Chain A
């Protein structure tokens, strides 16, 4: 159990994903670099309006090799995908309240990258986001979504 966005939380998420045999079976083997951008808003007690949280997820050989916070927004070099959403959306997903696929289709989560690659690896994407949304291990020291 780790507080959201803490160093331990990133490690826990990495271990959770790599512990999934289903994910390892479907994950792309090629080096794939993604960044998640959490845009602060008026509702999240974790990422306030005007602040951002950025983290990096790197897949290689069918496993997550990096899952860590970034000090600043990724500059795009060598980046395959950029996922951007307000903090309440990401936290709603992490709390299992929002379906990330539907949020993506609605445009609440913006996706930039090679869509053909995304389509070819849709199963891995689905497993990854399901793990993220149904892990149930995240601690919410400042309150859990939905925020009032």
Chain B
């Protein structure tokens, strides 16, 4: 499957690679390999427009902004800086469990091991990013939570939104 023919896959670029954090380096390799391994993932990545910040729970000063621009995906360290971009914060194991399908994002959010911040209109984008980052092998496909969880997360977010208005 690796190297499957797609005319032009999105380029994944890590800014200031020589001084990048380990999280940025890991996400850079992860996205490159994910897009390289699957035509579907390449198409999904190309369709994304927006930005998301992934922040490490182990050290809040380690955060990476991922900018999806269609044919180009840019990663850069943003450190402690915060803005209105949707964000995901979790420890290494929690993030790994989401990508591998071992745990649902919803369960991790409810147990506060994963923290997400987003505006209502950013939810579809965030869900699509989570789906892109899910490792699609046999093990991942066996977990129905992987498909259901983002939808439940969406419903929960809508409920929270209307309850707190």
Chain A interfacial positions (CB closer than 8 Å to B): 99, 101-116, 118-120, 122-123, 126
> Taking A105-B62, A120-B135, A122-B97 as contacts, is the C-beta distance between A111 and B25 under 8 angstroms?
yes
Cβ–Cβ < 8 Å partners of B135 in chain A: 116, 119-120
Enumerate 20 A-B pairs (CB-CB under 8 Å) in ascending A order. Answer: A101-B58, A102-B58, A102-B59, A105-B22, A105-B26, A105-B58, A105-B59, A105-B92, A106-B21, A106-B62, A107-B23, A115-B29, A115-B30, A115-B33, A116-B30, A116-B34, A116-B37, A118-B96, A120-B96, A122-B96
Using known A-B contacts A116-B34, A119-B30, determine if residue A104 contacts B22 with beta carbons closer than 8 Å.
yes
* CB-based A-B contact count at 8 angstroms: 73
Q: Collect the chain A residues with CB atoms within 8 Å of residue B95's CB.
A: 119
Q: A115-B30, A115-B33, A116-B33 are in contact. Are A122 and B92 (CB under 8 A)?
A: yes
Find out whether the CB atom of B93 lies under 8 angstroms from the CB atom of A126: yes
B100: Cβ under 8 A from any A Cβ: yes
B35-70 contact mask (Cβ, 8 Å, vs A): 1 or 0: 001000000000000000000101100100000000
- Is B82 located at the chain interface by the 8 A CB criterion? no
Tell me if B139 is interfacial: C-beta within 8 Å of chain A.
yes
User: With A116-B33, A116-B135 in contact, do A111 and B26 touch (Cβ < 8 Å)?
Assistant: yes
User: What is B's interface to A at a CB cutoff of 8 Å?
Assistant: 20-26, 29-30, 33-34, 37, 56, 58-59, 62, 91-93, 95-97, 99-100, 135, 137, 139
Whether the pair B96, A119 counts as a contact (CB closer than 8 A) is: yes
Task: Give the nearest-CB partner of A126 in chain B.
Answer: B93
- B23 to chain A: which residues have CB within 8 Å? 105, 107
Flag if B100 contacts A122 (CB, 8 Å): yes
Cα A104 to Cα B21 with chains together (Å) = 8
Bound-state Cα–Cα, A113 to B62, Å:
21
> Beyond A107-B25, A111-B26, A116-B34, is A99–B92 a contact (Cβ under 8 Å)?
no
**Partner of B29 from A103, A109, A112 at Cβ < 8 Å:** A112
A62 CB → nearest B CB, Å: 15
Contact call B100/A119, Cβ cutoff below 8 A: yes
Q: How far does the alpha carbon of A111 sit from the alpha carbon of B58 in the complex, in Å?
A: 18
Contact residues in B for A111 (Cβ distance below 8 Å): 22, 25-26
Docked CA distance A111–B21 (Å): 11
- How far, in Å, is B91 (CB) from chain A's closest CB? 8
Q: What's the minimum C-beta distance from B152 to chain A, rounded to whole angstroms?
A: 22
